């Protein structure tokens, strides 16, 4: 595969790789490094690229595995999801504060979710992957993906309702 072909295939999902890495590693710099490493690994396998059924899914799995390995090497206790890719410059300062507060609460709630539920929620609701793709990426049965997603959504919904009802989480 030529460099131009490689770029044509990889560039459309490069940002997804970065967002997944950022959610797992938290640090922007660590996520950038992880994304670069995965892209280099993909390039080193460019001769095999045509044999992959879904290059994007393969790259996402590589990113997930790379980040988890990095976290294990640092003996991190848990994963952290940070949803910061939402930006709207046409809203009032008050609305910006409200959105920021809501995102902070969701981040806090998600910190308490089991790691598998965080990943499933990230891949399905943020990255909008199909259940089968998530199943392949996380090496889970499709039914288990649906159950994990349902439980994660239920927990987030209950905690948000509790916060709005009582003003606390």
pLDDT by residue for the chain (169 residues), tens only, comes to 678 888 888 889 999 999 888 888 878 888 899 999 999 998 888 788 777 888 888 888 899 888 888 877 754 444 344 444 445 456 677 777 777 777 777 777 877 888 888 888 888 887 788 888 888 888 899 999 999 999 999 998 888 888 777 655 4
| Helix, strand, coil share of the chain (percent; to 5) | 75, 0, 25
Give the span between the Cα atoms of 48 and 30, in whole angstroms.
27
Give the span between the Cα atoms of 122 and 12, in whole angstroms.
19
Give the span between the Cα atoms of 14 and 39, in whole angstroms.
8
Quick check: pTM over 0.85?
A: no
Neighbouring C-alpha atoms within 13 Å toward the C-beta of 3: 1
- For the chain, domains (ranges, CATH) are 1-77 (1.10.1740.10), 91-169 (1.10.10.10)
In the prediction, which pLDDT does 86 show? 45
Neighbouring C-alpha atoms within 13 Å toward the C-beta of 111: 10
C-alpha distance across the termini of the chain, in Å: 52
């Amino acid at each position: 595969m030529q460099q131009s072909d490689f770029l044509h295939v990889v560039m459309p999902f490069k940002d997804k790789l970065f967002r997944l890495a950022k959610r797992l590693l938290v640090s922007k710099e660590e996520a950038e490094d992880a994304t670069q490493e995965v892209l280099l690994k993909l390039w080193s396998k460019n001769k095999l690229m045509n044999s992959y059924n879904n290059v994007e899914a393969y790259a996402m799995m590589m990113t997930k595995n790379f980040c988890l390995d990095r976290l294990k090497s640092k003996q991190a206790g848990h994963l952290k999801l940070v949803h910061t890719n939402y930006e709207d410059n046409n809203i009032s300062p008050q609305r910006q504060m409200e959105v920021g507060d809501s995102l902070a609460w969701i981040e806090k709630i998600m910190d308490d979710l089991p790691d598998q539920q965080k990943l499933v929620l990230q891949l399905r609701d943020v990255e909008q992957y199909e259940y089968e793709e998530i199943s392949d990426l996380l090496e889970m049965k499709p039914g288990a993906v649906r159950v994990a997603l349902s439980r994660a959504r239920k927990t987030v919904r209950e905690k948000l309702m509790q916060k709005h009802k009582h003003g606390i989480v």
